Amino acid sequence: MMAYPANIEQRINDLLSRMTLEEKLGQMSQHSVGGPISAQLKDEIRKGRWGSFLNAGSPADRVEAQRIALKESRLGIPLIFGRDVIHGYRTIFPIPLGQAASWDPELIRQAARVAAREASAAGIHWTFAPMLDITRDPRWGRIAETLGEDPYLASALGAAMVRGFQGDSLDAPGSIAACVKHYVGYGAAEGGRDYNTTWIPERLLRDVYLQPFHAAIRAGAATVMSAFNDLNGVPASGNPFTLRQVLRNEWKFDGFVVSDWNSVIEMVPHGVAAGPREAALIALRAGVDMEMVSRSYYEHLKQAVESGEVDQKLIDDAVRNILRVKFRLGLFDKPIPEKVAAEEAPPDAEALAVAKKLAAESVVLLKNANRTLPLSKTIGRVAVIGPLADSPVDQMGCWVMDGKASDVRTPLAAFRDVLGAARVAYAPGLKTSRDTSRAGFPAALEAARRADAVLLFLGEEQILSGEAHSRAFLDLPGAQEALVEEVAKAGKPLIVVIMAGRPLTFEKVAARADAVLYAWHPGTMGGPAIADLVLGVESPSGKLPVTFPRTVGQIPIYYNHMNTGRPPSEKALGIPTGTPVDPQGFDSKYLDVDFTPAYPFGYGLSYTTFEYTNLRVSSPSMPMGGKLTVSADVANTGTVEADEIVQLYVRDLVGSVTRPVRELKGFRRVRLKPGEKRTVEFELTTADLAFHNAENKLVTEPGVFHVWIGPDSTRGLRGEFRVTE
Ligand code: BGC
């Protein structure tokens, strides 16, 4: 936790003693301003009507509004300006799901730092990130914003983002407040349809969905956003169990909670409040301190306090939480900038370097038959084909508010840069990912015929993922599969690069391609990063942060599932798929598709090969409260220098309740030269093995555990240890 001056609480108390009830409710209200801050709004700021704005005006508008709040309002309480700085401000990094594929907390911290620096220079104090929703459903469009399916990975990376945004202290230059969202369970939307109902037993909530939030709060996250979803019958923005019991009482969170956009009054259609007044009372009592966009607090709470229906203390507590964050950010004390640049600066060299490195580390090599990749830089000609080869907006991905298409370097531009325009034949084949016209096919085939290798940039447009953009089919949209078939007729090495906001299903295309790179939506520097990988300047090193299904019908499919009484075995893979004939008996499987995923969690290839040997567990047992180390030797047995992400998994063999078949408990990115071997060591404590039992108590139970060190969630060297009483 960060340390803040002790006198903050005194200053808050002093202000509270002088504030009117209207001024307090103003602090609890956040207004969304699409354009400039109008004269009327300025007047309202003078009167203390608003505590916060989102999406407000230009940097100069924000400075002026802040000047009015500080100098011309009765008590001089500053505004807090929030904005969705989700994966970059001006410089756009890969979508969060792509960043998660890097398994690189330090680089992710650096990217968040760059975003905070750029945003704070534009007068932003607060970002609505990181998004820490765990999801097991790639249909859900917001999977793009998540850090994947695993609570351990999302915790490590989410905490790193918080540290990046907030720096060493909130009032340091270039720091902005983080907001962890969407608290909580939002990613479990039934059917992957956005905003849908969630049912999450408390044990699962605590073991999986709450974990990344807890980690981010421990890392000092200043604010929390309450979610849209109905959680077990109680909407998350009116849920005293998650907001008061867990967040405040158990975790001792002392920042503030903001609702999601209108989520307070959406409790009316959810059917737990008869109208906005009741919604306001429910949200306030549950622990939502600031209302985003809707106005039920300001319009109804005054009367509710005056009539005695609501305790004034609830209002004071909410205002106290909000003011505390404003003080911590230094907003009361920071000088108002005299001049604001009219134009925002384009990304600087440092920002672009971080964006390129993160884009490169986020790309996952899924297939590389006969070492098709890397291509040699001396290759004659390449054909660059596909709707995502030169599509700057799509390449940036969803939730981009301040990134500029003109800053983006696409793969087409990057290959032309490196190889020279004469060696790059470009024929998009399709205008967009959803295009169904084959009019561009002949030109694409012709380009392929005249090239030595074909680079096909496929995937989905950015508009197909993100909020309220769920999909029921996860295939490559439009005529992309047909384009692959067409171009394959040229008989040239076929390298498919997929840009998407989620795991897609593309088994046929993968079978047809010689190599497949999964690049997510890689952001501003995606093009140069991909060119470096394709041409072997760098080896791919990303690993999947989420399980890739073969088909939508397998969803939910995730690695850390429970066993069944009849787990499927390898023999079930022999079933002729697509026919309802079952020669193999009664296992937990499908008749028409393998039970295994297309690609498992943690999976990703490299241009080199890594060999894992010599698993050691420092002791055959550890007493409760003790620790041990697990190590293995990892050697680069190939011919190029590369990073490997070494993963540690455990399985608790017998519990008082069923336990996942594997759980990630550690990971490390190691760089190895050809022939180099290194011992990678992890420490495990009995606290790391804890879970919530049938009484929802956090316990580690004695017994035998399996432990693996390996390259993904399905392989690795296995050892064993026992936890004793
Ligand atoms: C989204 C949030 C976002 C907020 C403010 C909502 O619709 O769910 O993630 O931060 O809008 O733009």
Q: Residues 534-563: pLDDT tens digits?
A: 999 999 999 999 999 999 999 999 999 999
Which residue minimizes the CA distance to atom 2 of ligand 1?
260
Regarding whether 389 and 313 lie in a shared domain, the answer is no
Residues 646, 634 contacting (CB under 8 angstroms) = yes
For the cut 90, the answer to whether the pLDDT of residue 35 exceeds it is no
Q: Specify the ligand 1 atom closest to the Cα of 228.
A: 8
**343 in any annotated domain:** no
Q: What confidence category does residue 578 fall into, taking pLDDT thresholds of 50, 70 and 90? A: low
Domain with residue 460: its CATH number is 3.40.50.1700
How confident is the model over 44-49, as a mean pLDDT? 98
**15 in any annotated domain:** no
Regarding whether 388 and 297 lie in a shared domain, the answer is no
For residue 399, report the distance from its CA to the centre of ligand 1, in Å: 9
Closest alpha carbon to 725 in 601, 617, 625, 602: 625
**178 in any annotated domain:** yes
577-616: b (≥16 Cβ within 10 Å) or e: eeeeeeeeeeeebeeebbbbbbbbbbbbbbbbebebeebe
Q: What percent of the chain is modeled with pLDDT above 70?
A: 98
600/543 Cα distance (integer angstroms): 9
Is 104 a residue of the active site? no
Regarding whether 400 and 315 lie in a shared domain, the answer is no
For residue 275, report the distance from its CA to the centre of ligand 1, in Å: 22
Model pLDDT, residue 582: 61
For residue 314, report the distance from its CA to the centre of ligand 1, in Å: 25
Closest alpha carbon to 79 in 122, 116, 34, 125: 125
Task: Give the H or E element holding residue 180.
Answer: strand 179-183
Regarding whether 393 and 305 lie in a shared domain, the answer is no
For the cut 70, the answer to whether the pLDDT of residue 581 exceeds it is no
Ligand 1 contacts CB of residue 53 (under 6 A) = no
Which residue minimizes the CA distance to atom 12 of ligand 1?
84
Ligand 1 contacts CB of residue 183 (under 6 A) = no
**584 in any annotated domain:** no
Query: What is the rounded end-to-end Cα distance, in angstroms, of the chain?
Result: 32
Domain range for 275 is 21-328
Which tens digit of pLDDT belongs to each residue from 596-610? Answer: 999 999 999 999 999
- Residue with the bigger pLDDT between 74 and 35: it is 74
Regarding whether 469 and 322 lie in a shared domain, the answer is no
Instruction: Report the domain count for the chain.
Output: 3
Regarding whether 436 and 374 lie in a shared domain, the answer is yes
Domain with residue 616: its CATH number is 2.60.40.10
CA diameter of the chain: 81
Q: What percent of the chain is modeled with pLDDT above 90?
A: 93
504/143 Cα distance (integer angstroms): 12
How confident is the model over 216-232, as a mean pLDDT? 98
Regarding whether 401 and 307 lie in a shared domain, the answer is no
Which residue minimizes the CA distance to atom 8 of ligand 1?
260
Ligand 1 contacts CB of residue 701 (under 6 A) = no
386/364 Cα distance (integer angstroms): 19
Which of 534, 555, 574 terminates a domain? The answer is: 534
Regarding whether 277 and 370 lie in a shared domain, the answer is no
Domain with residue 134: its CATH number is 3.20.20.300
Q: What confidence category does residue 34 fall into, taking pLDDT thresholds of 50, 70 and 90? A: confident
Regarding whether 204 and 313 lie in a shared domain, the answer is yes
CB atoms within 10 A of CB 466: 23
What is the rounded average pLDDT for all residues in the chain? 96
**215 in any annotated domain:** yes
Ligand 1 contacts CB of residue 145 (under 6 A) = no
For the cut 70, the answer to whether the pLDDT of residue 39 exceeds it is yes
Q: Specify the ligand 1 atom closest to the Cα of 55.
A: 12
Which of 496, 514, 534 terminates a domain? The answer is: 534
Pocket test for ligand 1, best of 83, 128, 146 (most atoms within 8 A of CB): 128
For the cut 80, the answer to whether the pLDDT of residue 186 exceeds it is yes
Pocket test for ligand 1, best of 124, 132, 261 (most atoms within 8 A of CB): 261
Residue 153 has phi, psi (to 5 degrees) of -65, -45
Model pLDDT, residue 572: 79
Model pLDDT, residue 570: 83
Q: What confidence category does residue 184 fall into, taking pLDDT thresholds of 50, 70 and 90? A: very high
Regarding whether 202 and 78 lie in a shared domain, the answer is yes
Lowest-confidence region among 72-86, 267-281, 428-442, 559-573: 559-573
Which tens digit of pLDDT belongs to each residue from 522-532? Answer: 999 999 999 99
Closest alpha carbon to 401 in 31, 37, 87, 153: 87
How confident is the model over 467-490, as a mean pLDDT? 98
Q: How far is CA 412 from the centre of its chain?
A: 27
Quick one: 473 exposed, middle or buried, by C-beta within 10 A (0-12, 13-18, 19+)? exposed
Which residue minimizes the CA distance to atom 11 of ligand 1?
261
For the cut 60, the answer to whether the pLDDT of residue 1 exceeds it is no
How confident is the model over 347-374, as a mean pLDDT? 98
Pocket test for ligand 1, best of 260, 263, 293, 399 (most atoms within 8 A of CB): 260
For residue 12, report the distance from its CA to the centre of ligand 1, in Å: 28
**449 in any annotated domain:** yes
For residue 260, report the distance from its CA to the centre of ligand 1, in Å: 6
**91 in any annotated domain:** yes
Q: Which two tokens stand for residue 145?
A: 């914003």
Task: Name the catalytic one among 260, 435, 532, 652.
Answer: 260
Beta-bridge partners for 382: 424, 453
Question: What DSSP assignment string belongs to 53-75?
Answer: EES-S-HHHHHHHHHIIIIISSS
**655 in any annotated domain:** yes
Model pLDDT, residue 66: 96
Regarding whether 379 and 245 lie in a shared domain, the answer is no
Q: What confidence category does residue 166 fall into, taking pLDDT thresholds of 50, 70 and 90? A: very high
Which of 283, 309, 328 terminates a domain? The answer is: 328
Which tens digit of pLDDT belongs to each residue from 332-343? Answer: 998 888 777 777
Model pLDDT, residue 56: 85
Regarding whether 144 and 84 lie in a shared domain, the answer is yes
Ligand 1 contacts CB of residue 128 (under 6 A) = yes
Ligand 1 contacts CB of residue 260 (under 6 A) = yes
